[in-house]
Structure 1
Amino acid sequence: MYDMETIGVQASHCTCPRDILSEDDRNALALMESTCQKQGDRYVIGLPWKRDKSELPNNYALAPKRLMSLERGLKSKPQKTELYKKAMKEFIDKGWAEKAQTAEKGTVIHYLPHHGVYREDKESTPLRIVFDPASTFQGVSLNSFLYKGPSLLGNLLGILIRFRERAVAFQGDISKMFLQIRLPEADTQVHRFLWRDLDTTREPTVYRLMRVTFSDKPSPDMANFVMLKIARENEEEYPEATEILTNDRYMDDIIHSCNVPEEAAKLMGELDHILASGSFKIKK
């Protein structure tokens, strides 16, 4: 199981010596621990910077070119165009992104290109907008400035074995888990992007992402770190449910088995309550 007491010095799900983590992994976890906190009804966690972020170049010169390339690609595809516009509107309407204001002098600014991943088999989300922190400019990218982290995913084999141990099973996934977690103000400025609703007659508007971004190199560990922190903060009141959140969750999927339906209903209710404290919701 994960041991939050050893975050930053020992790999989760590992009985090996404490020095088994690389220096990079220890640094990444220490940075996550120092920036992760609850603010209001949500958790905030900062990017684990590996390099001095002041050296990250402002790549605005690249951003309009990538936007125009996207627009040209969508021009002859009206169905995908509407899906893209709808998906971007959701980002803005739900506060996952907002218009960027003029930044203070000295603020580190970086822009992310974006494109769509189309999934015809997904009725609820036929298109996912993917931002590209691996896009290079002057030989570097946002991802090249960040630690990856040691992988805080649980042991999938153990999760599946435990799932089959008892007669009554339940499953759910945490809806848009990454997007429920805020980035600190400074880190939103390196997640700027351009958008003009595919209206090429006007200048693009500058937006910034406000939430943990799926394609950032450390984002899986950032999200998992928040989940483990929530479990730690609630383990005294809800020991069984937090053990499930810690040990029977694989990224945003929770699967568990119980002896009787009543026990399953109780644990599902407790998980809902725990996760709701951080504005997370399990899809039924």
Structure 2
Amino acid sequence: MVPVRVKAKSSDKFVETYAFLDSGSTATYCSDRVLHLLGIVGKKTILNLSTLGNKQKQTTREVRGLEISSLDGEHTIELPPVFTQPSLPLSRADVPSEEDVTGWPHYRDLELERIDSEVDLLIGVNVPKAMEPWDIIAGKDGGPFAIKTIFGWVVNGPLEVSGEDTESFAQAHFIKGSASLEEQVRDHFNKNFPERSIDDKLENSKEDCQFMESMKQSHKQNDHFFVNLPFKHQCVALPNNKKQAEQRLTMLLKRFVKDARFREAYNDFMNKVIEKGYAHRVSPDDKPEDGKVWYLPHHGVFHPKKNKIRVVFDCAARYGGTSLNDQLLQGSNLTNTLVGTLTRFRQDEVAVMGDIESMFYQVHVSPSDRNFQRFLWWPKGDTSAKPVEFQIVVHLFGSTSSPIIICQLCSAANRGRSERKVQ
């Protein structure tokens, strides 16, 4: 997996994400989230999808004119037609880091860039330039080997993982064939009747309706909205992943020892989060019932332009076959179309752009759901002390449901202002 930028050739807007280089796939895929962020719709099509032990027809969207580049923009590759998927069976937890290869001395100087993103691209063998090896570091003692590609280093092979609850799995992704002849003929003639595409209207799915019902339970208190975590199932029961959080905290402590600047910036960030009330220390007497608590691992990411750190609470970290994001509803796509945004620039003489500081942190999680957002940290950043439990009381940037929750609340606020203005 490598971090890349993806964008449409006709636009300057790009999205940073991880790309999975999969030599077992003959096609290239992207998640719906990428199209959502780029403001692209794509053309509806049908695929005959063949995976390991399974063949099925699948309705998807075909996107042309996408290109990917390295994070510094130095190298760019134009992609063949890309097919969309609601999500890819990969997560940020699968991305190897420098800590993962510290056990092999010959990888000590290996640079593995990390970004704050999910894995939203699967690059198949129809993009050979992306998989072309520029350099190779052979594995030793049964360990992984590393390959340098046009977008950076990738690590292949087993990584050392500790703990009894780790899972071993193999994934295969490949596509065979295309739409049937009958479907291709039907699609060809439909192109001569464009009104058919105008009749297509995206309706809310069952999960979207369930998400909206969850939003109706929100309430406002002391100038803040309180919204429940929109779980897919009311009787959610999660495994106890405290061991995973402890392991990740141990890895973080090792980096603190090596990098004093990173440690200081990390402590400052966490102190501000706690001082501003975005996180509270959990009382030792607070013992939630089994299945009703989840611990969020966290790591730090430096912003390349602002040169400051942001601590990311990893809602996508998987344990026992699941993650917090797996349990949450995403909600419907509320992003404005690019055409609509550009058109509104013609309404008035002056356009204003603004940014809300810590916008996600302004919406609180209902107290009943806060135990699903616990994390481990040292009191006042003192790493010589024993870690204690805290809980995040606001909706997090990395949560799959947070963007739509924010959009829904902003839309509701705008409608309220418009109604008051009319009255």
Q: Distance between the aligned counterparts of 2:213 and 2:234, measured in 1?
A: 16
Which of 271, 295, 298 aligns to 1:89? It is 271
CA distance in 1, matches of 2:222, 2:244: 36
Quote the residue 1:48 is aligned against.
230
Classify the secondary structure of the residue corresponding to 2:419: coil
Q: Percent identity, aligned pairs only? A: 32
Q: 1:110 aligns with which of 294, 298, 315?
A: 294
- Partner residue in 2 for 1:250: none
1:70 maps to 2:249:
no
In the superposition, the TM-score normalised over structure 1's length comes to 0.72
| Matched letter for residue 395 of structure 2 | V
Q: Deviations over 1:103-151 (max 9, x none)?
A: 255271110000111014116xx11111011111111111111111112
Q: 1:36 is matched with which residue: 211, 218, 221?
A: 218
Give the aligned partner of residue 315 of structure 2.
133
Counterpart residue number, 2:39: none
Q: Give the number of equivalent residue pairs.
A: 222
Distance 1:75 1:104, change over 3 A: closer
| Deviation of 1:19 (Å) | 7.5
Shift of 1:218: 0.7
Corresponding residue for 2:409?
226
**Which whole-Å CA distance do the structure 2 matches of 1:180 and 1:75 have between them?**
33
Which of 235, 238, 241 is the aligned partner of 1:59? Answer: 241
Letter in 1 for 2:301: V
Query: 5+ residue gaps in structure 1?
Result: 1-14, 240-284
- Structure 1 match to 2:303: 119
Q: 2:208 aligns with which of 25, 46, 59?
A: 25
Q: 1:16 and 1:92 mapped to 2: Cα distance?
A: 51
Point out where structure 2 has 5 or more consecutive residues left out of the alignment: 1-197
Q: Residues of 1 paired with 2:246 and 2:287: CA distance?
A: 22
Deviation of 1:22 (Å): 1.5
Report the counterpart of residue 373 of structure 2 in structure 1.
191
User: In 2, distance between residues paired with 1:213 and 1:235?
Assistant: 29
1:143 matched to 2:325? The reply is yes
In structure 1, which of residues 156, 159, 165 is the aligned counterpart of residue 341 of structure 2? 159
- RMSD, matched Cα: 2.1
Q: Which amino acid aligns with 1:77?
A: D
Write out the 4+ residue segments of structure 1 that deviate beyond 4 Å after TM superposition. 15-19
Superposed CA deviations along residues 56-87 of structure 1, whole A, max 9, x for unmatched, are 12211211111111121232111121111111
Per-residue deviation at 1:172? 1.1
What's the CA shift for 1:233? 2.6
Task: Point out the structure with max Rg over C-alpha.
Answer: 2
Distance 1:63 1:234, change over 3 A: same
Describe how 1:228-243 pairs up with structure 2 within 5 A. 228-238=411-421
Letter paired with 2:203: I
Deviation at 1:220, TM superposition (A): 0.3
Match of 1:275 in 2: none
1:71–1:198 contact (8 Å) kept in structure 2: no
